[in-house]
Each structure stands twice: as C-alpha cells, then as structure tokens.
C-alpha cells in the first residue's frame, strides 16, 4: 500500500547495527523507511518482502531485530504476517507502519499481536518505538531464559534422592522436594507452611534455632550430624547442611537445607567399632609362647623373665590359656610303681601308646 513518507529532520536516536525486515509492497516507501532509519543513526541492514512465502523464507534465513509491516498488501497483510511469526515461534518486535489512520485500526492491530502502530507521516515515533520494543524483547527473552532455568533447576531438585528443603530464616518451609517426602514420610502438602523442626525430635530444637540464628546474622555454618525422625516415629541419623539463599543484590532472602540419611552409615560404624573392641578384648586375653625357653635338663623347670625357676606346667599356665590335668605315663608307672604294675592283670594296664593313667 503506497504512501508518501514525509522526511523528518531529527537528532539521531538509534545507534549501532539494526537488521530490519520490511513487509512492504512499495519499493519507494521501503527505501524512504530505510533512509529514515539510517538518518536516525542506525547502521542498517534491511530486506523488503511483499508475500507470505518471501516473509517466511526471510524469517528462516536470518535473525531480525525488528519487523516493520505495512497494514495491507495485495493478498497479504498484518494478520498473515503475525500468524507466520507465531508459527515460527519467534519473539521479534513487530511494528505496523501504515498510512491508514484511526484509533480503531491501531487497537485492531495491537489485539492481533503487533507491538506498536506508527503512521507513515509521523515517523518521529518510529525510532523510540523500535528501541522500546527491542528492550522489551530482550527483557522477555531474559525472563523466558530465567524461567526455563528455574524450571530446569526445580526439576533437578525435585528428582534428586536427597532431601532439599527451602525455608525462611524462621524455618517456615516454602519448598519440599520428593527426596524430603521419601526420607521423612510427609507429602509436600503436609510440610509447606510448617517449620523445619517437624523433621527433628524436640530435643534438637535448640540446635536448629542456633543454626538459623547464625544464618540470619550472615554466618554460614558447617554441616552437622543430627538426629531426625520420620512421620511414623522411626528415628534417623542425618547429615544437615543449611546455607543462605541470596537475591541478585546479595540480600539474604531465605535458606536451604540439604539433608542426607546417614542411618546405615552410622550403624555400620557402630558395628565396626564393636568388632574392633571385641577383637582388642580377645587379643588382650591371648597369651602366646615364643622364642627360646631356658629349661632344666634334669627337673624340667623353666626359668622365667625374672630369673626364677618354675615348674613347667606353672610357667605354661601363666603364659598361655592352657590348662593341665595330671597323669602318669606307662614308663613312669613301671619305674615308680612296679608293685602295682605286677599285681594288675596285663589287660588292665595302660599300653605304651596310650595317654597313661590320670590322677
């Protein structure tokens, strides 16, 4: 739709490069628009299209800083162009530049999705509109990225098996992930709005209060081992790490608690400690004989470390766990008690290979 664009002398407002896609059926109007943008201080790169097919191709070919679209082209117009932008899932400033005036028309194009409406004979508004919409586009992209990042982090937090709880400096719970539900047995709907002390026995309340008080004064705390309790009353051994949450200005706005279940680890440590104690106790009771023993060749007494001669059985008893029972071997029986041996039937006497006769 051709229209004469008035030249507007003004102080340059735009700066830097600008890639502008002009949806315009009049080459003259497109050139006058380009001249106006250059005069306004832009290092302009532009391309003119006048059909849906060319417009779609231009959007695919490169990234544009702004789309300047005439209201009505033969067989193509604002609504069709906006539909293609939505189809391509692009967030690009879209400004209608038209010679057709009227408040109702402006409202119509804004409702259709355009970001602004500028009359061709009032181009003084064009550069401020472009700059404003470019800033808004950057803000929307930053918000979208921040939201995507937030959702991504939230998904990570919720899918981890560790309990991660967000709360204020008074301990009032704001977030409760699936790991917390798994560990403590409370669903998020049961925990939100309650205090974090619900996850700990009453006797641990002073420790929790001390940690939160330190954080409120900007003092970060080290992880601590602490007792916890499940909804069903089962006791837990936990590792608790509480840290502050700050906004982009460094102001403390809350805290997060990361909690690990160390019940099994503590059980294994206790079992290991008991085993070591039992082993040490057993070793302390074990006495062994080693090295050279000075023994009398005649009476078989043994000299101890203090130089005293002791009976062999006494020495062994004091230096080992062995116990003795006394008996007489067959040879000694024959030597010491021949009369007893001679009066007993041969079948009742102990043989040379037997253990002898015990007393």
Q: What is the mean pLDDT of residues 275-290?
A: 71
Q: Using an 8 Å Cβ cutoff, are 66 and 20 in contact? A: yes
pLDDT tens-digit profile of 43-55? 999 999 999 999 9
Q: What is the mean pLDDT of residues 280-299?
A: 69
Q: What is the mean pLDDT of residues 328-341?
A: 76
pLDDT tens-digit profile of 299-328? 778 787 777 888 877 777 776 666 767 777
pLDDT at 1 over 50: no
Fold for the domain defined by 160-265: Beta-Lactamase (3.30.450)
% of the chain exceeding 70 in pLDDT: 86
Task: Return the pLDDT at 101.
Answer: 66
pLDDT band at 349 (very low <50, low <70, confident <90, very high): low
Residue 11 or residue 37, greater confidence: 37
pLDDT at 339 over 80: no
Tell me if domain 17-143 and domain 160-265 are identical in fold: no
pLDDT at 7 over 60: no
Q: What is the mean pLDDT of residues 245-272?
A: 90
Q: At what angle do helices 103-112 and 78-87 cross, to 10 degrees?
A: 20
Residue 128 or residue 310, greater confidence: 128
Across 130-285, the runs of DSSP E, i.e. the strands, are 163-167, 173-176, 224-229, 235-246, 252-261
DSSP 3-state assignment of 234?
coil
In angstroms, the Cα distances linking 158 to 71, 175, 176, 272 are: 48, 10, 8, 34
pLDDT at 354 over 70: no
Q: What is the mean pLDDT of residues 88-108?
A: 85
Beta bridge partners of 116: 95
Q: Which residues are CB-contacts of 255 (< 8 A; sequence separation ≥ 6)?
A: 166, 167, 168, 169, 212, 215, 242, 243, 244, 245
Domain ranges, ordered by start, for the chain: 17-143, 160-265, 302-358
Fold for the domain defined by 17-143: Rossmann fold (3.40.50)
Q: What is the mean pLDDT of residues 209-223?
A: 90
Q: Chain-wide mean pLDDT for the chain?
A: 84
């Amino acid at each position: 739709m051709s229209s004469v664009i008035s030249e507007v002398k003004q102080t340059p407002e735009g700066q830097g490069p600008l890639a502008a896609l002009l949806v315009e059926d009049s080459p003259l109007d497109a050139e006058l628009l380009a001249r106006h943008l250059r005069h306004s201080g832009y290092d302009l790169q532009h391309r003119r299209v006048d059909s849906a097919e060319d417009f779609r191709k231009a959007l695919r070919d490169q990234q544009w800083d702004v789309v300047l679209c005439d209201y009505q082209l033969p067989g193509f117009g604002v609504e069709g162009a906006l539909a293609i932008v939505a189809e391509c899932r692009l967030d690009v400033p879209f400004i209608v530049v038209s010679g057709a005036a009227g408040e109702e028309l402006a409202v119509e194009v804004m409702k259709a999705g355009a970001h602004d409406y500028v009359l061709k004979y009032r181009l003084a508004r064009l550069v401020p509109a472009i700059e404003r919409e470019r800033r808004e586009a950057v803000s929307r992209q930053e918000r979208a990225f921040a939201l995507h990042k937030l959702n991504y982090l939230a998904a990570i937090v919720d899918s981890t098996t560790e309990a991660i709880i967000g709360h204020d400096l008074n301990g009032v719970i704001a977030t409760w992930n699936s790991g917390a539900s798994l560990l403590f047995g409370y669903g998020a709907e049961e925990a939100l709005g309650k205090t974090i002390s619900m996850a700990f026995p009453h006797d641990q309340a002073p420790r929790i209060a001390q940690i939160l008080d330190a954080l409120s004064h900007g003092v970060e705390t080290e992880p601590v081992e602490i007792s916890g309790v499940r909804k069903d009353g089962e006791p837990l051994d936990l590792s608790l790490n509480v840290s502050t949450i700050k906004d982009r200005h460094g102001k403390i706005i809350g805290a997060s608690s990361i909690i690990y279940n160390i019940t099994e680890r503590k059980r294994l440590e206790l079992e290991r400690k008991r085993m070591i104690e039992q082993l040490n106790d057993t070793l302390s009771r074990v006495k062994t004989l080693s090295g050279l023993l000075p023994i009398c060749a005649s009476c078989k007494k043994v000299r101890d470390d203090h130089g005293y001669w002791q009976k062999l059985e006494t020495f062994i008893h004091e230096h080992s766990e062995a116990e003795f029972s006394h008996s007489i071997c067959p040879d000694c029986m024959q030597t010491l008690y021949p009369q007893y041996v001679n009066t007993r039937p041969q079948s009742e006497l102990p043989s040379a290979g037997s253990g002898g006769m015990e007393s």
